[in-house]
Amino acid sequence: MIGVSIDQVSKRFGEVLALDSVTLRVEPGEIFFLLGPSGCGKTTLLRCLAGFHFPDSGTIRFGTDDVTRLPAHRRHTGMVFQNYALWPHKTVAENVAFGLEEQRATRESIRTGVAEALASVRMEGYATRAIHQLSGGQQQRVALARALVVRPRCLLLDEPLSNLDAKLRLEMRTEIRRICKETGLTAIYVTHDQKEALSVADRLAVLNEGRVCQVGAPGEVYRRPESRFVADFIGETNFLDAEVVSLGEGMLLAGTGNGHRFEAVASDFRLGDKVTLSIRPEAWRLVKSAGGVPPVDAVNTVNCRIGEVTYLGEMAQYQVNAGAIRLKIYEMNPRVVATEGECCVSVAAEDVVVLPRQG
């Protein structure tokens, strides 16, 4: 297993700055995701790691080896593409064997390597099949086997599940994680799918406009985003503009212009700071009124009225209104779906994320 170091890497295409001084460290054996919207630079960075692009500045190291200017065929990486890139005129085994043939491996080592690679992706009985006889998920497994058979130092995956249907994507997420962990591979995986990243990654980096916005474990990035962009891009959230009105031991109290007050676990803010509160839809607790409503000045509580309701089986989604405030609320495993009427919603201080207000 090797680690991958990316130090101050920049890449420009004409007037477009695709990567802007990107610095990242991927630990040996880690499944590391590059996540962000289209055009954020994640695929450009992956292609720099593969050797398909050379950065204009900065350094890329595999372990202690500087590979910044090394040609792709000398980096000893395995690449899995979005469109699989399988040869339709070759059988499954012939597709998987290609990398070993390029390395001029012996016939026996090719036979053994292909068998082991197909076994690792659970495709042992498909060696003689033609590619057109396989489903999309099976073709993706063959593409993985072809990347694994050369025993790469690092596995690079460029949105490998985007062409699969929803059920297959769920299945292949688990399979890719299993394969990487069983083989001890360091893997760097590009996607724009937040759930894919949250469910598979050991750590992830969120990119935007060629820069790294935040790096961390999935739960850390989801629960404690460091910017409005990250909070909005990873999952869904409610934003409330507020001002810090009181400070305590690791806590603060923020007031909105609508008279609501929210206590939060936060530091590094001062009295009077203009902030934005980010509160996930599932963090709210909804209580249907039954003759009594909490006082309007209760901390971390909003009196409101239920508007639109969407029932999805495992959850109910509510749009609630409190004057100028519109909130999205998710109730998981609802036994009784609320209907229009007065209600109140509350949230724990630990679930209120305080962000510097942009602009």
Report the distance separating Cα 301 and Cα 230, nearest Å.
Answer: 25
Q: Strand 57-62's sheet: what is its strand order?
A: 16-26, 4-13, 57-62, 65-66
**Co-location of 190 and 299 in the same domain:** no
Cβ atoms of residues 276 and 298 within 8 Å: no
Longest dimension (CA), the chain: 81
**Co-location of 288 and 312 in the same domain:** yes
**Co-location of 159 and 95 in the same domain:** yes
Cβ atoms of residues 356 and 276 within 8 Å: yes
**Co-location of 169 and 38 in the same domain:** yes
pLDDT in tens, the chain (359 residues): 899 999 999 999 999 999 999 999 999 999 999 999 999 999 999 999 999 999 999 999 999 999 999 999 899 998 888 877 889 999 999 999 988 888 888 889 999 999 988 998 888 889 999 999 998 888 888 988 898 888 899 999 998 888 778 888 888 888 889 888 988 899 999 998 899 999 999 999 999 999 999 999 999 999 999 999 999 999 999 999 999 999 988 888 898 877 889 999 988 899 999 999 999 999 999 876 555 555 555 899 988 889 889 999 899 999 999 888 899 999 988 887 877 778 889 999 999 999 999 86
Last residue within a domain, chosen from 178, 200, 231: 231
Torsion angle, alpha carbons of 224, 230, 235, 237, to 10? 70
**Number of domains the chain is built from:** 2
> 267 is in which domain, residue-wise?
236-356
Cβ atoms of residues 301 and 289 within 8 Å: no
**Co-location of 272 and 323 in the same domain:** yes
Q: What is the CATH number of the domain that holds 210?
A: 3.40.50.300
**Co-location of 25 and 96 in the same domain:** yes
Cβ count near 126 (within 10 Å): 20
What H or E segment, with its residue span, contains residue 4?
strand 4-13
**Co-location of 90 and 74 in the same domain:** yes
Last residue within a domain, chosen from 231, 266, 298: 231
Q: What is the CATH number of the domain that holds 330?
A: 2.40.50.140
Last residue within a domain, chosen from 200, 231, 262: 231
